[in-house]
Amino acid sequence: MNRKKFLSGLGLAGLTSIIPFSRTKASEGKMKLKAALGGADCVLIPHETAGPYPLDLSGDETFFRTDITEGKEGIPLDLTIKIVSIQDDCAPIANARFDLWHNDRDGWYSGFVQPGIDTTGETFCRGIQITDVNGEVKFNTIYPGWYPGRTTHTHFQIFLSSVLSATSQMAFPDAINTIVYDDPLYPKGQNTTVETTADDGVFAGGYEDQLLTITPNLTTGGYDGSLTIGLDEPATVGLINLEPETGGQFKLMANYPNPFITETVIPFTLNYAADVKIEIYDLMGKKIAEVCNGKFQKGEHKIIVKRKIGDLVLSSGNYAYQLTTENTAGRFMQVKVMTVGH
């Protein structure tokens, strides 16, 4: 399938460049907000600058991936990030888009001209994931390096219903940084420009709510990293009401029930008669099933999608379903996300 159209249909392509900064829901500065609903305790993630080198890759579904190393050398780092609602008792937020990027072991970012190197066209250490029903995303990457003036960190942005909700950074424990940069895999050695994370100017207002929990991974020989990120949003948001351009030909509604166990209904309305095709993709962009392909008249329609499609049984998790129409006006498509429950 056309990769750019696939994620453009999700309403995701280009958003990092067109959404004004003022629309972010993360607090200005490093404001901290704790919710104690039902005994829960979660923290609103502080806002940080998106730079350096954010790069919108949402128009290509291949970047919806877990492994973002692209062969880059370094100590393995497996990240698990959980996104929760401080409005709803720290409940997980499913179907949120999480964009992650960081530098390689030598301190270089992919995709840009930087002092001393040109990585234009490269995409290492960048990836996108959609949070599952537990509000979690997972990435397999390498422990980042450092560059002058900054401590070790990663960048991320979170989108809810296509709107940028948070831009921030994650920090790493100083003690682990010291161990990592003593390893021969990191030829630059220790960070000689910023002694500790507390000395980093970007984290000047504190970094405790952005500090990854890092533990050894005996299987990979590297580390596991985890962080819970609180958003001032209801737990029911996410990639729910996406309305990209469909040429005025049709409207694709959200499937129901969602999540579902045995079957779900995909409703859509045609403003004009058309050939209609509905395909299901995993979030790596691989087509796994076609559930509809035929001629439909103008009006309202419903397609039942069963968890068992022929010999295929959908495992629990998130999937994209794409509706494509074709008639004399042209070919149009739209994508939404559905969740298969346990």
Same domain flag for 8 and 123: yes
**Torsion on CA atoms 17, 18, 19, 22, rounded to nearest 10:** 90
What is the mean predicted confidence (pLDDT) over 334-342? 85
Average pLDDT over residues 168-183: 98
Q: Which residues pair with 128 in a beta bridge?
A: 64, 99
pLDDT recorded at residue 244: 44
Residue 261's domain is classified under what CATH number? 2.60.40.2550
Specify whether the CB–CB gap between 260 and 308 falls below 8 A.
no
Same domain as 176, residue 300: no
Predicted confidence at residue 246, as pLDDT, reads: 67
- CATH number of the domain where residue 216 is located: 2.60.130.10
Q: How far is CA 72 from CA 61, 96, 103, 106, 125, in A?
A: 21, 27, 10, 10, 8
Does an H or E element contain 83, and which? strand 76-85
Q: State pLDDT tens for residues 194-225.
A: 999 999 999 878 999 999 999 999 999 999 99
Q: How confident is the model at residue 331 (pLDDT cuts 50, 70, 90)?
A: confident
Cα separation, 125 vs 108, in Å, equals: 10
| Range with the poorest average pLDDT among 30-39, 109-118, 327-336 | 30-39
Number of domains in the chain: 2
**Is residue 238 one of the residues assigned to a domain?**
no
Same domain, 200 and 287: no
241: in domain: no
Report the pLDDT value the prediction gives residue 125, as an integer from 0 to 100: 98
Kindly report the backbone phi and psi dihedral angles of residue 125, in degrees, each rounded to the nearest multiple of 5, phi listed first: 60, 35
Q: Are 224 and 214 in contact (CB under 8 A)?
A: yes
Q: In this model, does residue 284 exceed pLDDT 50?
A: yes
Same domain, 135 and 277: no
- Nearest-Å Rg of the Cα atoms of the chain is 21
| Among 231, 260, 288, residue at a domain's last position | 231
Smallest CA-to-CA distance from 334 within 325, 342, 326 is with: 325
State residue 64's pLDDT score: 87
Percent of the chain with pLDDT over 70: 83
Q: 67 has which bridge partners? A: 140
Given this model, what pLDDT does residue 8 score?
43
One domain for residues 43 and 186:
yes
Mean pLDDT score of the chain:
84
Q: Residue 219, class by beta-carbon neighbours within 10 Å (0-12 exposed, 13-18 middle, 19+ buried)?
A: exposed
- Same domain flag for 212 and 75: yes
pLDDT digits 0-9 by tens, 17-39: 222 233 233 333 333 334 333 33
Distance CA 99, CA 165 (A): 12
Model confidence at 239, pLDDT cuts 50, 70, 90, reads very low
Do both 216 and 255 map to the same domain? no
| Contact (Cβ atoms closer than 8 angstroms) between residue 100 and residue 126 | yes
Distance CA 222, CA 331 (A): 48
Do 133 and 62 fall within a single domain? Answer: yes
Cis amide linkage into residue 259, ω under 30° from 0? yes
Would you give the end-to-end CA distance of the chain in angstroms? 29
Assigned domain for 290 exists: yes
Range of the domain at 312: 250-340
Give the pLDDT of residue 30.
32
**How do beta strands 91-92 and 76-85 pair?**
antiparallel
Region 281-302 average pLDDT: 89
* Averaged pLDDT for residues 334-338: 83
pLDDT at position 247 is 67
* CA count, 13 A, side-chain hemisphere, 247: 16
Residues 220 and 254 in one domain: no
> 226 with 286, same domain?
no
